[in-house]
Structure 1
Amino acid sequence: MVGFGKKLRERQIPEWEQYYIAYKPMKKKLKEYAAQASLSKDNRQRVLREFSLMLDRQVEKTVLFLLDQQGQLAQRLANLADQRTMIEKNVEKEERADDGAHTDWLIEEYRAVGKDLLKLLRFVEINATGLRKILKKFDKRVGYRLTDDYVATRSNHPYSQLQQVFKHVGIGAMVATLSRNLAELESSKESLSFYEMPSTPSFYSQEPVIKEIKAAVDRLTNSTNFLRFLGQAALLPREDTVSAEELPQEEEYHPLSLALNLGNTFLYMVNTYIIVPTADKYTVALHVAPTVCGVVIGAMAVAQLVSSVYFSAWSNSSYYQPLLFSSVMLLLGNIAYAVAYDYRSVTLLILGRLLCGFGSARAVNRRYISDCVPLKMRLKASAAFVSASALGMAAGPGGAGLLTFDTTIFGFTVNDNTLPGWVMAIAWLLYLVLLCATFKEPTPSYPSSRKKSKSKPTPDLSVVRTSRSGVSAEAGLLDPFLPQDSTSSNKDTDSDDEKSDEPANSIGEAYGLLTASVKVQLLIYFMLKFAMEILLSESSVITEYYFGWGIKQVALFLGLLGLTVLPINYVVGSYFSNMFEDRQILLFSEIVTCVGLVVSFRYGGIPYTMTQYISGALLIFVSAEVLEGVNLALLSKVMSARLARGTFNGGLLSTEAGTLARVVADVSITLAGYLGTGRLLNVTMLPTVFIGVVSVIATLATYNSMF
C-alpha cells in the first residue's frame, strides 16, 4: 500500500517543491515523540510547543507562496482586461468586424490563466490534506488532542494565515472574472444577438477549465465543513487532555447505545412539537380559551429549566439511569396529557407537559457523545445529534396531521386531541424496553473529569494556561497568530478562567465567567428561540383565525418549515462559512429575522393575506435556524475554557437561555390572548422585534471581539 508521503511527493509540482508542507520531516519528528513511551508534564508541553511552532512555520511558508501566486494571476487577468479593451477600441475605430483571431487569442489566454489557477488550487489541496493528515497522526501516535485546538486558535482570528487555506474569497473572485470573460468572448465569437447570448451560469457549467476549478474548490472546502458546522452547533462539553490509553477505544464503543442516545434526542423533539397543531383545539375542548395553548406548550419548557441542571449533574456518574428516568417521566407525562380529555382537566393537561419537561435529557445526550464516542467518530456523532433534533422538530408537527382518528378504547377517548399523547406514550414505552434490554453503561474508568483528584496540584500559571477546549498548553502555544487589542488582552489576563482550570461549580459562578461577547451570544440565542417559539406556538391560532386552516394544514405547514433545517444548515456549513466570517453571517441572519418579524405584522386596515404570513414565517424560521447554527458555533469558540466542561458548561447555559425564551414566549401568547385573538399577532410580534433590534445593537457593540 502506497503511503501518503509518497503520494504527496508524486503529486507535487517539481518547481514548487520547496513551498509544500514538509510532511516527511514532521512525520519523522512524530516517531521521535511516539518513542517516548510516557511523557512527563514538562515534556508534554515541550512536545506541544515544538510541533505547533513547526506547523506554524510550514503554514506560513505555504500561505506566503500562495498569496504571491494569487497576485501574479490577478495581475495577468488585469493585463488581459487592458488588452481586451485596447483590441475592442481598435476594432471600433477601424469600423470593421473582428475577424475572430484576437478573440481566439484572448480565449486561450484566459484558459491558460484558468489552468494555472487550477494548478494553484491543487497545490493548496495537497497542503491542506497534508496538514490534516499530520495533525491526525499527532493525535493518534502521541496521544494528545492537538487538532481541534490548533485549527481553532489558528483560524478563528480574522487575520489568521490559516484562513487562506480554508477560505477562498480571492480565488472565487478570479473564477468569476474568468467565467464572465470566457462567456462574453464565446458569445461575441458566435455573433449572437443580445437575447441569444448565454448567461454566465450557463457557460460556467460548460467551460471545462471552470468546471475543473469548481470541482477542486468543492473538494478542498466542502469535505468536512458541513459535519464540523453541525458538530459545533451541538456545543458539546469538552474535557481536559488525556492520554491515548484513557480515550474511549473502538472495543469500548457501543453503537447501539449511541443510537438509543440519539433516539432519545429525536423522540424528545417530536414530543415537544407534536401537540402544536392541536393544542388550541384541545384547550377549547376543555372549555378554556385557545390561547391557553401557550401555557400548555410552554409547561414542558418550564420543567426543562430545572431538569437541564440535574441531568447535567447526573451524567457525571451515569448515563443509563438518567435516560431510564427520562423515559419513565415522558411515558407518564404523555399518558397524563392524553387522559386529561376524559377527566376534563386543564390541570392534568399541564401536569402531563410538566412531567415531559422533567424528562428532558439533552444534557445527557450531549455528554454521552463527548465522553463515550471515539475521537475519530465524535464529529459525525455531534452532527447526528443536531440532525436528530432537526428531524424531530419536523416530524412532530408533520406527524400530528396524520393522527386523525376518533374512537374509544378501554373507556378512554382517542381522537385528534389525545392521539399525540397516546402515540408518544407508546413510542416511549417501546424506547424504554429497548433501553433496558440493550443499553450498555460505559465503564467508569472514563471520562477523566469524574475521577479527577481533588488534591490535583495547581499548575504553574507562568508556564501553563488552559486553551478554549480545556487542553493545558504552554503559555502562548495556542494563541492566535495576531494578538487582540491590549484592552481585551488585559481583561483576559485578569479573568477567572486564566486563574484556574477548574470548571464552574454553579450557574452563578458560570455566569460570572461570561465575557461581553459570550453574553451577547446568549442574548442572540434567547432572541432566536423566542422568535421561533412565538411563530410555532401561535401558528394554529393565527392561521385558523385569518385563513381558516385546520389541523392538517397547520401540520403540513410546520412540517415543511422543519424540513428546511438540514438543507439550510448544509448550505451555510458548506458554502457560506467558506465565504464569510461567522460574525458576518450572524449579523446578517439577525437582520433578516427582524425583517421577517416586520413582514409578519398586520398593518391597519390592509387585509392580512396568506402570502404575507407564509413569507414572514419563512424569513423568521430560516434565518433563525441559520442564526442558531452560527451562534452556537461561534459560542463554542469564544467561551471560557472553564465553561467548556463540567456540569455547568456552555451547553447548559445555552440550553437554559433557549428554554427561558420559550417559557417567556409561551406565557406571552397566553397573556396576549386576553386582548383577543385579533390582536394576538401584533401584540406578540412587537416585543419580538424589540428583542431582535436589541440583539443587533449588542452584536454591533461587541462585533470586533467575535472571532
Structure 2
Amino acid sequence: MVAFGKKLKATQIQEWQRYYINYKLLKKKVNQYTRQIQNGSGNHLHVLKEFSLMLDNQLEKIVLFILEQQGLLAKRLSDLREQQDTAFEQGGVLDMSEVREAYQSVGRDLLRLLFFVEMNAVGLRKILKKFDKHLGYGFTAYYVKTRANHPYSQLQQIFKHVGFGAVVGAISRNLVVLQDNQENYVSIYDHPVLPLQDPIVSSIRAAVDRLTNSTDFLHFLGKHAMIMQDDLPSPSDDNLSDEGYDFMSLLLNLTNTFLYMVNTYIIVPTADNYSLSLGAAATVCGAVIGSMAVAQIFSSVYFSAWSNKSYLRPLMFSSVVLFIGNTLYALAYDLDSISVLLIGRLFCGLGSARAVNRRYISDCVPPKMRMKASAGFVTASALGMACGPALACLFQTKFKLFNLTFNEDTLPGWFMALAWIIYLLWLWISFKEPPKPEGNIAPQESSHGRTADDAMENGLKQPLLISPKENQQDNDDNEGQELDCDDETAEENHKPATSIVAAYRLLTPSIKVQLLIYFMLKYAMEVLLAESSVITEFYFEWSTRTVALFLACLGLTVLPINVLVGTYISNIFEERQVLLMSEFIVCVGIVMSFHVGIPYSVLQYVISALITFVSAEVLEGVNLSLLSRVMSSRLSRGTYNGGLLSTEAGTLARVLADGTITVAGYWSESKLLNTTLLPSLVICIISIIATCFTYNSLY
C-alpha cells in the first residue's frame, strides 16, 4: 500500500510546488502551540489569532495562484474562439481534430488545476482537524463559519470552485459541438443531461463533484451505506478499467441485500402469535426475532473474511443456509417445537451476507459508479424493510398441503425459502466472480481502493506536501519528535486491522461516540419494531394485518426522510448539528411512548413511534455519513473494516433489545412497554452527553 506522503509526492505538480499549502510548517506550529499550552506558557487568544493569520496567508497564496491559472486557461479558450471565428469569417476550413485536441489540452490543464485545489482543500481540512485534536478547541467551526460566508471569502474559492464554472462550461460546450457523431439538437443547453462522449469532460465533472464534497441525496445515501469513498483520488482514477465489473453481478448482490431485509422483518407482525401457538409466551417473539441477530454477530466476521477470497461462494452459502433456516421456521408449526423455530431463525442469521454485499461494492464497482451502487445498497435495504411487513399482511389464509400447514405464521417461512431457492439458481447462472488483484492482495487494497485516506491512520496524518527545502530541515525537528511520531509512514501503519481488538485500538473517542450513537438508535428502533405486535394487541387489540400495515408504513418513510436530509437539511446545517438535534428528538419520542397515568391511546402510540423511528433514521444517515469520513483508512480494508464494526454495534444492539423484550415479558405484559423503554431512554441520554463532550471533534 502506497503511503500518503509518497502518493502526494507522486501526484503533485512540481512547477507549482511553492503554491501548495505549507502543511509541514502549519503542523510544526500546532506542535509548538501544544507544548506551550501543556507547559502553561501559551496564551489561548494569541494562539488562535496567530494560527488564523497563518491560515489566511496560506489561503491567499493558493487563491491568487488559482485565479492566475484560471486567467491563463480563459486566455487560451479566448484565443481558440478567435481562431474559429476568424476562419469562419474568411471562409477557411479548420482541422476539427486539431481544434478538438486543443480544447482537450485545455481540459487536461484544467483537470490538473482542479486536483491542485482538491489537494489543498484536503490539506486545510486535515490541519484544522489536527489543531482541534491536539489543542482541544472548536477552532474549525469558528474558522469556517467566520470565513465561509464573508463577502471577501477565499474559502469559497477552495471549497466552492468559484470561477471554474465558466471554464468548465466553455470546454464542455465546444467539445460537444465538435463531436463526430452529433445528435439532432440545437445546442447543449437544450439537452442538459446529454451524455458527453469525450472522456476528458467526464473526468472534469468527476473532479468537480469531488471538489464540492457534495451532500446531495446520492452522496448522502452512499455514505449511509458505510462504504467509504476516496478522499483524494489521483487523476487516473477516473479512467480506471471496468474489468471485473458486471452489472448483473451487482444486481444480484443488491438483490441479496433486499431479500435479507425482507427475511428479517417479514416475521415481525406474526412472531408473537407463532410463539403462542407453540405454547410459549407472546413476548418470546423477542427471542425469535433476536436469534437472527445473535447469529449475525458471528456470521458478519466469517463472511467478511471469506470475501477476501471469493464473492460467489459466500453468497451461495448464504442462500443455502437461509433456505434451510426458513424451512425450519415454517416446519416448527407442524413439529410443535419452539426450539425448531429458534434454530430456524439462528440459521437465517448465519446466512447474513451483508459484509459481502458491502465488500463487493467497495472492491468490484468502478469508482465512478461506486456512489450510485452504495446508494442502491441503502435503497435495497430500505425497500426490504418496508416490503417485509407488507408481505406478511398478504398471508392471511390457511390450508394444508402434503400434511404441511400453510397459514399466516408459516407462510412467511415458506415464501422466503422459495425466494432463496430462486435466487440461488439465478446466482449460479448469472453471477461472475471478479478477478482478484495480483499477489493475493486483499480486495480493498486493489488499484481502485483507498488513496488519500491512507493518511488517516488512527486519526493522525501525514504532511500533505513537503518541499525540498523543508526536507533539508527534517533533522532540526527533534524537539517536536514526541508529537511528530504520529506521522511516521512505516508499512505496518498502513496494513488493515488483523483482529477486533486491533480495530478497536484505531478508534478515536469521537468515533467511539458515533458507534455508541449507532448502538443507541438501533436499540431504540428494535424495541419499537419487535414489540409492536405485542403492545398493539395488548392495548388496542390490533389484528396482524393492521400491525403489518403500520410497520410497512414506517418502513416506507426511510427513503423520503433520506431525500429530505440529503438534499435539504444537510445543505443548511452542519451534520453534527443535525446529529445532536436528532438525538434530542429520539429522546422526546421515547419519553412520549411511556404509559404513565392516563389511558394509552392509539394516537399517542402512533405519534411517538413515528417520531422515534423517523428521527432515528435521520440520526443513522447523518451518523454514518460522519463516521465514513473520519474513520481510519486501515478500517476501510480487510476483514475487520469499519462497515463490520458498525454492523456489529447495530447487531449487538438488536440482540440486547430483543433480549430485553423477552425478559421483561415474563414479568408482566402490562409493564412490558415501560420496562423496555427505560433502557432506551438511559442509553439515549448517555449518548447525548457523550456527543456534547466530543462535539468539537465531530466533523
For normalisation by structure 2, the TM-score amounts to 0.68
Picking from 268, 280, 283, the partner of 2:272 is 280
Picking from 500, 508, 515, the partner of 1:507 is 500
Q: In 1, Cα distance between the equivalents of 2:244 and 2:113?
A: 19
| Alpha carbons of structure 1 residues 423 and 147: separation in structure 2 relative to 1, 3 Å | farther
**Residue 527 of structure 2 corresponds to which residue in structure 1?**
534
| Alpha carbons of structure 1 residues 538 and 386: separation in structure 2 relative to 1, 3 Å | same
Q: In 2, Cα distance between the equivalents of 1:659 and 1:422?
A: 25
Q: In 2, Cα distance between the equivalents of 1:591 and 1:135?
A: 49
**Residue 3 of structure 1 corresponds to which residue in structure 2?**
none
**Residue 10 of structure 2 corresponds to which residue in structure 1?**
44
- Secondary structure at the residue paired with 1:316? coil
Alignment of 1:4-19 (within 5 A): none
- Secondary structure at the residue paired with 1:413? strand
How many residues are aligned here? 529
Q: In 2, Cα distance between the equivalents of 1:687 and 1:394?
A: 26
Matched, 1:600 2:623: no
Q: Which amino acid aligns with 1:230?
A: L
**Residue 455 of structure 2 corresponds to which residue in structure 1?**
467
Matched, 1:550 2:543: yes
Q: Which amino acid aligns with 2:222?
A: G
Alignment of 1:4-83 (within 5 A): 43-44=9-10, 46-47=12-13, 53=20, 60=63
Runs of 4+ in 1 over 3 A off after TM superposition: 39-43, 45-52, 54-64, 133-142, 145-168, 220-224, 237-248, 446-449, 468-474, 489-499
- Residues 492 and 498 of structure 1 are in contact (CA less than 8 Å); yes or no, is this contact kept in structure 2? no
Alignment of 1:231-310 (within 5 A): 231-236=222-227, 244=236, 249-310=241-302
5+ residue gaps, structure 2: 22-57, 68-106, 130-139, 154-210, 446-451, 467-479
1:330 shift after superposition: 0.6
- Choose 270-279 or 245-254, whichever is displaced more: 245-254
Q: 1:465-485: CA deviations, max 9, x gaps?
A: 93249999961359xxxxxxx
Q: Which amino acid aligns with 2:514?
A: Q
- Secondary structure at the residue paired with 1:250? coil
Q: Which amino acid aligns with 1:536?
A: L
- Residues 271 and 288 of structure 2 are in contact (CA less than 8 Å); yes or no, is this contact kept in structure 1? yes
- Residues 272 and 533 of structure 2 are in contact (CA less than 8 Å); yes or no, is this contact kept in structure 1? yes
- Secondary structure at the residue paired with 1:408? strand
Matched, 1:519 2:512: yes
- Residues 270 and 392 of structure 1 are in contact (CA less than 8 Å); yes or no, is this contact kept in structure 2? yes
Q: 1:179-202: CA deviations, max 9, x gaps?
A: xxxxxxxxxxxxxxxxxxxxxxxx
- Secondary structure at the residue paired with 2:400? strand
**Residue 658 of structure 1 corresponds to which residue in structure 2?**
650
- Residues 300 and 356 of structure 1 are in contact (CA less than 8 Å); yes or no, is this contact kept in structure 2? yes
For normalisation by structure 1, the TM-score amounts to 0.68
Alignment of 1:298-447 (within 5 A): 298-445=290-437
**Residue 219 of structure 2 corresponds to which residue in structure 1?**
228
- Secondary structure at the residue paired with 2:20? helix
1:379 shift after superposition: 0.7
Matched, 1:563 2:556: yes
| Alpha carbons of structure 1 residues 148 and 289: separation in structure 2 relative to 1, 3 Å | farther
Q: Which amino acid aligns with 1:249?
A: S
1:295 shift after superposition: 0.3
Alignment of 1:22-171 (within 5 A): 43-44=9-10, 46-47=12-13, 53=20, 60=63, 137=111, 157-158=140-141
1:238 shift after superposition: 6.3
1:249 shift after superposition: 2.4
| Alpha carbons of structure 1 residues 42 and 601: separation in structure 2 relative to 1, 3 Å | closer
| Alpha carbons of structure 1 residues 61 and 247: separation in structure 2 relative to 1, 3 Å | closer
- Residues 502 and 642 of structure 1 are in contact (CA less than 8 Å); yes or no, is this contact kept in structure 2? yes
- Choose 536-545 or 498-507, whichever is displaced more: 498-507
Q: In 2, Cα distance between the equivalents of 1:136 and 1:398?
A: 51
- Residues 462 and 487 of structure 2 are in contact (CA less than 8 Å); yes or no, is this contact kept in structure 1? no
- Choose 337-346 or 400-409, whichever is displaced more: 400-409
Q: 1:6-31: CA deviations, max 9, x gaps?
A: xxxxxxxxxxxxxxxxxxxxxxxxxx
**Residue 609 of structure 1 corresponds to which residue in structure 2?**
601
1:498 shift after superposition: 7.2
Q: 1:558-590: CA deviations, max 9, x gaps?
A: 000000011111111111111111111000000
Q: 1:53-74: CA deviations, max 9, x gaps?
A: 389669746999xxxxxxxxxx
Matched, 1:590 2:578: no
- Residues 262 and 388 of structure 1 are in contact (CA less than 8 Å); yes or no, is this contact kept in structure 2? yes
- Residues 63 and 164 of structure 1 are in contact (CA less than 8 Å); yes or no, is this contact kept in structure 2? no
| Alpha carbons of structure 1 residues 423 and 440: separation in structure 2 relative to 1, 3 Å | same
- Residues 497 and 641 of structure 1 are in contact (CA less than 8 Å); yes or no, is this contact kept in structure 2? no
Q: 1:340-362: CA deviations, max 9, x gaps?
A: 11000111101111111111111
Matched, 1:692 2:692: no
- Residues 461 and 487 of structure 2 are in contact (CA less than 8 Å); yes or no, is this contact kept in structure 1? no
Q: 1:501-557: CA deviations, max 9, x gaps?
A: 111110011111111101100100000000000000000000000001011100110
Q: In 2, Cα distance between the equivalents of 1:502 and 1:222?
A: 27
- Residues 465 and 474 of structure 1 are in contact (CA less than 8 Å); yes or no, is this contact kept in structure 2? no
- Residues 215 and 566 of structure 2 are in contact (CA less than 8 Å); yes or no, is this contact kept in structure 1? no
Q: 1:613-645: CA deviations, max 9, x gaps?
A: 011101110000000001101111222222222
| Alpha carbons of structure 1 residues 42 and 593: separation in structure 2 relative to 1, 3 Å | closer
Q: In 1, Cα distance between the equivalents of 2:353 and 2:272?
A: 27
**Residue 126 of structure 1 corresponds to which residue in structure 2?**
none
**Residue 703 of structure 1 corresponds to which residue in structure 2?**
695
- Residues 221 and 578 of structure 1 are in contact (CA less than 8 Å); yes or no, is this contact kept in structure 2? no
- Residues 256 and 438 of structure 1 are in contact (CA less than 8 Å); yes or no, is this contact kept in structure 2? yes
- Secondary structure at the residue paired with 2:408? coil
Q: 1:383-433: CA deviations, max 9, x gaps?
A: 111111111111111211111121112221000000110111111111000
| Alpha carbons of structure 1 residues 40 and 528: separation in structure 2 relative to 1, 3 Å | closer
1:280 shift after superposition: 0.2
Q: Which amino acid aligns with 2:299?
A: S
- Residues 155 and 161 of structure 1 are in contact (CA less than 8 Å); yes or no, is this contact kept in structure 2? no
**Residue 476 of structure 1 corresponds to which residue in structure 2?**
464
1:253 shift after superposition: 1.8
- Residues 453 and 632 of structure 2 are in contact (CA less than 8 Å); yes or no, is this contact kept in structure 1? no
- Secondary structure at the residue paired with 2:638? coil
Q: Which amino acid aligns with 2:336?
A: R
Q: State the identity %.
A: 53
Q: In 1, Cα distance between the equivalents of 2:487 and 2:397?
A: 58
Q: In 1, Cα distance between the equivalents of 2:7 and 2:395?
A: 61
Q: In 1, Cα distance between the equivalents of 2:416 and 2:110?
A: 43
| Alpha carbons of structure 1 residues 491 and 615: separation in structure 2 relative to 1, 3 Å | farther
1:289 shift after superposition: 0.1
Q: Which amino acid aligns with 2:624?
A: L
Cα RMSD after superposing both structures: 4.0
Q: In 2, Cα distance between the equivalents of 1:257 and 1:335?
A: 26
